[in-house]
Amino acid sequence: MKLCLNTSTIRPQRLLEKIRLAARAGFDGVELWINDVYEFIGRGGEVRDVERALADHGLFVPCTIAMRQWAEASEIEYPSMLEEAKRRMELARRLGAPYIVATPSRAPCDPAQTSRRYRDLLRIGREVGIRPTMEYISFFASVAKLEDAWRIVEEAEAPDATLIVDSFHTWNSGSRAALLAEIPLERISHWHIDDAAPGKPAGTQTDSDRVMVGDGPIDLAADFAMLRAKGWDGTVSLELFNRELWAQDPADVLRVGIERMRELLGL
C-alpha cells in the first residue's frame, strides 16, 4: 500500500513546494491537480520542471485531478470539452499518472448522458494511455453517491472503467457503505481518505468541512477493513480542503496526516 498526498491538503503552497513538502513528510506519491500545473506553466515554468521535481524527490503520481464539464456540456460545446479532456489526459500521462479523475456535473444531468460520455472519455483514454476514473461528489446533484458512480462504471461495460473511493463523500451522501465490499477490486482506482466535521450532520457538509483523519465521525477503519478483506493494497491519498489547516505550518499538517494514516492502516 502506498501513502499519497492530494495537494489540496496544503493548497496555498506553490506546486514545487507541495512536491517537496510531500516528500519530506514521507509520502510515497503526490496526487496533482491539472490546474496547478497549468498555473505553474502560466508563471513561466515548464512541465519538465515538474517531472524533474517528482524524480528528484522520489515521488510518483497515482492520479490527477480533474476533467470537468464533460457530462453537462451542450452538444455544441461537447467537442471542445472532449478536446480539453484529451489535453488534460496527455499532460497527466506525461507526469506518469495511470488515472485521471472524471468529475460529474454539479447540476442535475441526464444519467444516460453521463454514462454515454464517460464511455467517450474511456475511449480517448485508451488512445492516450491513461484511465479516466469516475468520481462521486456528495454535494453535487448528479453523481452524489457511491451507488451512482458504480452504476456508471457498470454501464460502461468496459474492463478499464473504474471509480475512485472517497470516505467523506460516501459518508456525507448517505451512500450504502457496504457496497464497497461488493465492488470488484479491479474497479477501484484509488482511495481518498478524509474525515468530516464533528457535530454537523451528514448531507450538510461540503469540501471545507473535511477534517484531519481521526478527528471526525467517519468509520474509516470499517472502510479499510472492507478494502483489506478484498485484498486491496493500492494507493490512498490524504485529501482535505480545510482552511484552518491551510493557515497552519504545512509541514506540521503533513506530519500529523501521515502519522494518522499509518496508524489507521497499520503501516
Task: Tell me the per-residue pLDDT of 26-58, one tens digit each, with 9 for 90 and over.
Answer: 999 999 999 999 999 999 999 999 999 999 999
Amino acid present at 224: F
Distance (Å, rounded) from C-alpha 88 to C-alpha 218?
32
Query: What pLDDT shows up at residue 52?
Result: 98
| Domains of the chain, residue spans | 2-265
Query: What pLDDT shows up at residue 137?
Result: 98
Q: Considering the domain 2-265 in this protein, what is its CATH number?
A: 3.20.20.150
Mean pLDDT of the chain: 97
Query: What pLDDT shows up at residue 74?
Result: 97
Task: Tell me the per-residue pLDDT of 222-250, one tens digit each, with 9 for 90 and over.
Answer: 999 999 999 999 999 999 999 999 999 99
164 — phi, psi (to 5°)?
-105, 125
- The band of 79, judged by pLDDT with boundaries at 50, 70 and 90, is very high
- The band of 203, judged by pLDDT with boundaries at 50, 70 and 90, is very high
Task: Tell me the per-residue pLDDT of 98-146, one tens digit each, with 9 for 90 and over.
Answer: 999 999 999 999 999 999 999 999 999 999 999 999 999 999 999 999 9
Query: What pLDDT shows up at residue 226?
Result: 93
